[in-house]
Amino acid sequence: MIPPSDHPARPVAAITGGASGIGLAFARRWIQEGGRVVLLDFSPSTLADAVAKLGPDNARGLAVDVTQNDTVLAAYASIDATEGRLDTVLNAAGIARPAPSADVSDEDFTLMLDIHVTGTMRSCRAAYPLLKRTGGTIVNVASVAALTGMPGRASYTTAKAGIAGLTRTLAVEWGREGVRVNAVGPGYVRTALIDTLIAEGKLRDTLIRERTALGRFAEAAEIAEAVHFLASPASSYVNGHLLMADGGLTVDGNWY
């Protein structure tokens, strides 16, 4: 472990689910501002591709399964030993498995909660000692699903609402230690996961665009801007907040 006085100047971000989607977009944004990233992701091959895109001088990849606490602990121990500091954490790991609520098995429901909610908690908990040393930040990825009832997505909406609640509690507990904890609530974002759901007929993109006040999906880079604000000193007095970046989906009353 490198003591605080010997920390390198380059700020470090750890990103779960960092090899694709919003996580990878934020990695690019963080690097753009002179930072370094450590990508924590389930797929070694996807990690290798992401690190190659970002450049080995800017990024390092660690294979992590957020449902397995030992891999999460090992990842943050590696960051402590290798980078010697940690300035922000983005918890973006997640999956989607739409299904009618009456048909969802206990196993599928529990898995969704374990990845999204408990996985986020595992990452936050492991990162906390490192973040205390730098006065760092945490940004958790919630969703419009945290605020709305979405048919066929009982496990997903429950998990995202849980992330919002977890964020508020950690913000209250850790604020006096100088660690701010916030969440971003994306609307629908054009990612590989969303494209797959559309192709499988599990999302109707035309209806989503009609329901969103801006009339379109977000780009991952747009959500990364919101994350960067919450992760950076620009939001120094923002703590425990759920920032909706949804194009107006959750406030649009045009249906009425």
Catalytically active residues, by annotation: 156
Backbone dihedral angles phi then psi of residue 67, each to the nearest 5 degrees:
-85, -5
What is the distance between the alpha carbons of residues 145 and 161, in angstroms, rounded to a whole number? 7
What is the distance between the alpha carbons of residues 198 and 70, in angstroms, rounded to a whole number? 35
Which stretches of 83-134 are DSSP H helices?
106-113, 119-134
Question: 3-state class of 37 per DSSP?
Answer: strand
3-state per-residue secondary structure call for 198-233: HHCCCCCHHHHHHHCCCCCCECHHHHHHHHHHHHCH
Q: Which residues, listed in sequence order, are joined to residue 39 by a DSSP beta bridge? A: 15, 61
